């Protein structure tokens, strides 16, 4: 019953993401009885690998798109829960978000900031050579969709999260 509930929730989150104009795999079949999802195979390159191969303006453009996509999810009340450069596919110049297994419906500022914290941690940990420019582009994309007030609120909350004892500050 737990697998069934999680499978149905993931399908709902993928559908909600697509409704929010965020690219996600197309769902062909949701088997709630046997906890099965049949979905599109997303051909492309993981964002993680694209960053390792590319530099400069292309990388910044990809992170701007990432910020825009996450802002659309958040504006629709969706927290992805596992936004990393391994869970985003670059396809035809755009981004496809995958792995909505930890996604949830939420309007909490804390949850939006936690999503952004994970992205920030991934960028600085896995892509340190481009982290400064990538973070700037990420925030630019996020703010362009969410607006300045929401951007400031998420950044303030992120700062509070980072000041908590269990998190090390990531610059």
Catalytic residue numbers read 82
34 — phi, psi (to 5°)? -110, 15
Count of beta carbons in the 10 Å neighbourhood of residue 52? 16
Tokens 């990432």 locate to 66
Q: What is the DSSP string of 107-168?
A: --HHHHHHHHHHHHHHHHHH-GGGHHHHHHHHHHHHHHHH-HHHHHHHHHHHHHHHHSTTS-
Q: What residues does 45 pair with on adjacent strands?
A: 90
CA 107, CA 112: separation in Å to the nearest integer?
8
Task: Please tell me the distance from the alpha carbon of residue 62 to that of residue 57, in angstroms, as a whole number.
Answer: 9
């Amino acid at each position: 019953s737990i697998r069934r509930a999680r499978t149905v929730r993931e399908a709902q989150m993928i559908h909600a993401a697509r409704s929010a104009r965020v690219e996600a795999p197309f769902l062909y079949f949701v088997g709630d009885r046997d906890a099965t999802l049949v979905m599109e195979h997303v051909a492309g390159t993981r964002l993680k690998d694209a960053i390792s191969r590319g530099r400069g303006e292309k990388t910044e453009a990809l992170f701007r798109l990432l910020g825009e996509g996450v802002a659309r999810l958040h504006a629709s009340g969706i927290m992805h829960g596992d936004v990393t450069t391994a869970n985003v596919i670059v396809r035809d110049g755009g981004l496809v978000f995958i792995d909505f297994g930890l996604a949830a419906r939420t309007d909490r500022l804390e949850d939006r900031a936690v999503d952004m914290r994970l992205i920030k941690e991934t960028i600085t940990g896995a892509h340190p050579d481009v982290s400064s420019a990538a973070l700037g582009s990420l925030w630019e994309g996020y703010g362009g969709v969410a607006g300045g007030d929401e951007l400031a609120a998420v950044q303030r909350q992120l700062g509070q999260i980072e000041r908590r004892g269990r998190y090390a500050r990531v610059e």
